[in-house]
Amino acid sequence: MTHGHAVAFEDLADWADERLDSTAEARVRAHLATGCPQCEADLAWLHRVLGAARAGALAEPPAEAVAQAKQLYRSRSRASRLKPLAAWPSLRWVPAVAVVVLVLVATVYLTQVPTLLAGQAWLSEVEGTAEARAIGETDWHSVSEDERFGQGDLLRASEGPVVLRLFDGTRLLLQPGAQLTLDILRSGLLGRSYHIALSQQSGSVEYDVAPLRGSRCRFEAQTPTVRVAVRGTRFVITVETVQETRVTVLQGSVRLESGEQTEVLEEREAAIVPASAPLVRLPTLTPTFTPAAEPWHTPSPSLPPSPTTTATPAPTMRVERTPAPAPVVATQTPLPTARPAVTATVALTETVVVTPAMGTDTPQPTATMVPDRVEFTGIIEAFPPEILGRWRIDGRDVMVQRTTRIRGRPAVGLCARVVCHVSAASNVRDVALVAVTIDIVEPKPSSDSRPTATPWWGAVTTLLPPPIQTMLPDLPALPDPTNWVPPDLLSTMVAWPTEHPIWPTRPARTTRPRATAAPTREATATEAQDANAVAPATATPTPARSPSLSGG
């Protein structure tokens, strides 16, 4: 190749190889000196390529190494081809997979059946009359024991309590007048999750809810004013009216939801939930109870002995005395009306053993009556004119029954020493404290009373009829109440001058010696009826402990 001038590409190659003679070399050098760009580019390329060539031939790798390098690709391709094949099971596994699926389906179905059957409720005991109404029906019909109910059924009790059991183990004690609806009785797979929702329209029902089996289990009770969510506990709901519900927790805790308000009630706490007002916590006494020496049986003091409980030949009610421990001090929670906290002295004095009149053949340790007997002293804040019924003493609701012994003439503002059961399932509607004895006392000023303060009982005693002074039993004096009775309560007491009943005056009655150690319930009730549940107005000083309580 020539460039149109005297120096050809061959000459440049010879120049690069230093093979030109002197004449040709001079000619090429002279031409290159002119700066011919084409020749310079050709010469640069020659130097680059020939330099690379003269650097030596590239070494030939071993054939084995080359073959292995080529094999790498085929090995990877084979592996990548096997991957999708491995992802698909062979057809010969299809029957086995089908069998496994069938077994799983059958297992799930069979294990689900019990839970489907369990989504029911049934009556285990009926002492009075129970009526039910199915979904869509308008007429109530009587039901008997072992009758089963399903979701949506309504049930009500009259003339006696009724025990309803749910598939999860929950036990409901419906007091006469109670009515509830089984809104939801739903059980999930294998029974590990379920949802139970009940609506209580009226009356008092004690819920002994079985511990929930997991976080996916729910138990809810709904009243016209509050929704109660529990996780295994024992509590009493009383629907006073459609405008008010009272909840008393006996064990565990519950969560109350009323409107936007949510409260948690702990054990031995109670609250009233109005329909259009904030929830009101009731004063709570939290004494330390003496452990029971015997297992406590399911009581129902108001029920006649059940013929089904012949396995227990003991009397229907037996009262025993246990050594009284030292008084313990419990704290009373303040009332929402800013009432200052009051420290009360609670003496644990006696233990009650009640033979189950209603329940299983084998006495159950889950007592519906708390075995402890609580004694406290406080101000009578209110009581019904007919005496029987709910009293309010020292901020607590105390039920006075025909069996209650009252010594002295009660009056609002007077001080009373109360011995009562802590009832869990009494036939009393919603009161956890059932009075055994109420001693009306007139506190006397103690030696350390403040001289500058006007004793509160001075104002009260002016409102009392004269005989009251003669009825006072010989009880130890209370500490100066001006130290612990709030002023607002004092003013309240003064504002109720005439609400106490006209107290019947009866001749003094001596204490009857008991022939038997354990009075029967009927005897006590008869006595109470005869005496109108009231001790004689001019009773002789009675011992601190009623003979009826000292049974043994």
The reply on whether position 38 binds another protein by CB under 8 A is no
Do residues 190 and 111 make contact, with C-beta atoms less than 8 angstroms apart? yes
Residue 465 has what DSSP assignment? -
The reply on whether position 13 binds another protein by CB under 8 A is yes
The reply on whether position 50 binds another protein by CB under 8 A is yes
Site for another protein in 161-190 (CB under 8 A): none
For another protein, which stretch binds (CB under 8 A), given 7-15, 234-242, 389-397, 529-537?
7-15
Name the residue nearer to another protein (CB basis): 38 or 446.
Answer: 38
The reply on whether position 74 binds another protein by CB under 8 A is yes
Angle at 279 between CA 413 and CA 204, to 5 degrees: 80
The reply on whether position 329 binds another protein by CB under 8 A is no
Min CB(47)–another protein separation in Å: 11
The reply on whether position 4 binds another protein by CB under 8 A is no
147 alpha carbon, distance to own chain's centre: 28
Reduced to 3 states, what is the DSSP secondary structure of residue 400? strand
Interatomic CA distance for residues 160 and 418, integer angstroms: 28
Selection from 501, 508, 497, 502 nearest residue 541 by Cα: 508
Among 4, 33, 35, 70, binds another protein (CB under 8 A): 70
The reply on whether position 134 binds another protein by CB under 8 A is no
The reply on whether position 87 binds another protein by CB under 8 A is no
The reply on whether position 513 binds another protein by CB under 8 A is no
The reply on whether position 44 binds another protein by CB under 8 A is yes
Number of residues that bind another protein (CB under 8 A): 38
Interatomic CA distance for residues 531 and 404, integer angstroms: 10
For another protein, which stretch binds (CB under 8 A), given 12-20, 113-121, 296-304, 533-541?
12-20
Site for another protein in 408-427 (CB under 8 A): none
Pairing of strands 254-258, 317-321: unpaired
Other Cβ atoms closer than 10 A to 170 = 20
Among 68, 107, 243, 343, binds another protein (CB under 8 A): 68
Min CB(63)–another protein separation in Å: 10
Burial class (CB in 10 A: 0-12, 13-18, 19+), 238: buried
Name the residue nearer to another protein (CB basis): 57 or 502.
Answer: 57
Q: Which helix (H) or strand (E) holds 377?
A: strand 369-382
Among 18, 35, 37, 58, binds another protein (CB under 8 A): 58
The reply on whether position 64 binds another protein by CB under 8 A is yes
Do residues 377 and 418 make contact, with C-beta atoms less than 8 angstroms apart? yes
Among 35, 37, 55, 215, binds another protein (CB under 8 A): 55
Residue 465 phi, psi (nearest 5)? -70, 155
Count CA atoms closer than 13 A to 246's CA, side-chain side. 16
Among 18, 21, 33, 52, binds another protein (CB under 8 A): 52
For tokens 């009640």, name the residue.
354
The reply on whether position 77 binds another protein by CB under 8 A is yes
The reply on whether position 48 binds another protein by CB under 8 A is yes
Which residues make Cβ contacts (< 8 Å) with residue 113, sequence separation at least 6? none
Question: Under the rule (CB under 8 A), what is the footprint of another protein?
Answer: 1, 8-10, 13-14, 17, 19, 41, 44-46, 48-62, 64-66, 68-70, 72-74, 76-77
